[in-house]
Amino acid sequence: MYLSHFKLREFPFSLTSDPKFLFLSEDHARVKAYIEYAMKVQDSFLICTGEIGTGKTTLVNDALAQDHQDAVIAKIQINHLTSEEFLQQLMLEFALDPFSLHRIQILEKLKLYLQQQFRVNKKVFLIVDEAHNVSPEILDDIRYLSDFESDNNKLLGVILMGQPELNDLIDKPEMEHIAQRVRLRCHIKPLNPNIIADYIKHRLKVAGSRDISIFSEDSIPVIHQFTGGRIRLINTLCDYALLHCCVEKINKVTSMVIQKAANELRWDAYEKRFGEHSDVTRYILPTIPSNTSKIIVKRNGQLVDEVKLSSDCVSIGRQSDNDIPVDDFKVSRYHAQVVTQGNVSYLHDLNSTNGTLINDKKATIHKLTSGDIFSIGTYEFVYSQSVAPHSLDTGSVENTVIQNHNSREKKDITRQLTLEQRDQTRVLHKHPYINLVEQSVDS
């Protein structure tokens, strides 16, 4: 991997929400301060919003990692829960058995629990992640619980973390009774180019790098162009760029490296991907034979899904925005990915908590062959390969197209390759991830 190439102690751009990598931009510092305040003043109702991948969950995990000996904290991630399921989940977070109780009994037991904690001088907090998915019924349950008092003291503090749609929900006229209880609101904006540079240096430093200038100055605006300043996308792109540099034996991440990495990820500029025009230079590499391989997903021997590997990278994890989302608490939010180029696929564990097993052994990177079975949590994944017919004619033309959206000019750089020349240069057109693994296998 690229750790030794860049003399790193660990991966600086992992997608896990590790609090030690928390970077405090102005917005993140403000939200952190608000959360700390909310957890000192129990009669609080805090709403924090931010677009996907802006670091909300990392802030939650940072709050949970602090020493709270005088507090009990329940964290619930909302994923299409019913009101009854939400209350049951809350009971479980407090180590209470909810399954033999009716709704009214659950609410009464929660009230008694909150009163008991108050009597022993313990504060109780509810942190709801992905709160934009909350239903009006669950919001009303939260409002009801937050109204519990003893000796003029609130018994439950509430922190709601979610995407901007959460504000839209709270601001509806029929939610006025909820909005009036909100004491603090904050929003995390995407990082601007200047802050992105500081963010990357911070991650490299925490990962053990002695050279925090690995990314050149001209790479930063390009990173912003492809990621829109969203932290999760920055991590993905920077990780890929470091991998590319390792494969090509480059010691500096330049704007060209970022553009190539974005192209291999099949990313357009962030604004363009979301429907807005953006000026960006794209480097379009030669096409590679189509792959009709698929992943068969099973649980307890039952077929769950079949996913065609039609893209270069298919992600697997508990978070709903994965290509293959899995409902298992043992599975990390972003657990693993299958990287494919042409007719070759590799399984890559993303530094998950419980690991990815293949043949009952934990695997970090594994070259998949048809029939391979790997396990993630209680799920089994069967790799099935079927490569579409493909032929190459002697003397055929390979094109590399450089398209500049500023001028709308296209330049075709054409090289005539015989089959012998093609074989000699074939490695140049492979996925850099696959190059790296094959080199490590050969060595």
Average pLDDT across each block of 10 residues of the chain; the chain has 443 residues. List them in order: 84 86 88 85 83 88 82 88 92 91 92 94 92 92 90 89 92 90 89 91 91 89 91 94 89 90 87 54 41 86 89 82 89 84 76 85 84 93 71 35 37 35 36 41 39
Q: How is residue 250 written in tokens?
A: 């480059």
What is the predicted pLDDT for the residue at 18?
83
Q: Taking the C-alpha atoms of 213, 215, 217 and 220 in order, what is their torsion angle to the nearest 10 degrees?
A: -140
Q: What's the predicted TM-score (pTM) here? A: 0.60
**Distance in angstroms (rounded) separating the CA atoms of residues 331 and 325:** 10
Where are the alpha helices (H) located in 207-295, listed in sequence order?
219-227, 231-248, 255-264, 270-273
Amino acid identity, position 20: K
* Residue 355 Rama label (left phi>0; alpha psi -120 to 50; beta): left
Instruction: Report residue 338: phi and psi, to 5°.
Output: -110, 115
**Distance in angstroms (rounded) separating the CA atoms of residues 191 and 434:** 31
Taking 3-state DSSP, the helix, strand and coil percentages for the chain, each rounded to the nearest 5, stand at: 35, 25, 40
Q: Which candidate, 215, 327, 204, 226, places its Cα nearest to that of 274?
A: 226
**Distance in angstroms (rounded) separating the CA atoms of residues 298 and 375:** 10
- The angle at the Cα of 364, spanning 210 to 350, to the nearest 5 degrees, equals 70
Using an 8 Å Cβ cutoff, are 78 and 137 in contact? no
What is the predicted pLDDT for the residue at 291?
55
CA 80 to chain centre: 19
Where are the alpha helices (H) located in 180-230, listed in sequence order?
193-206, 219-227
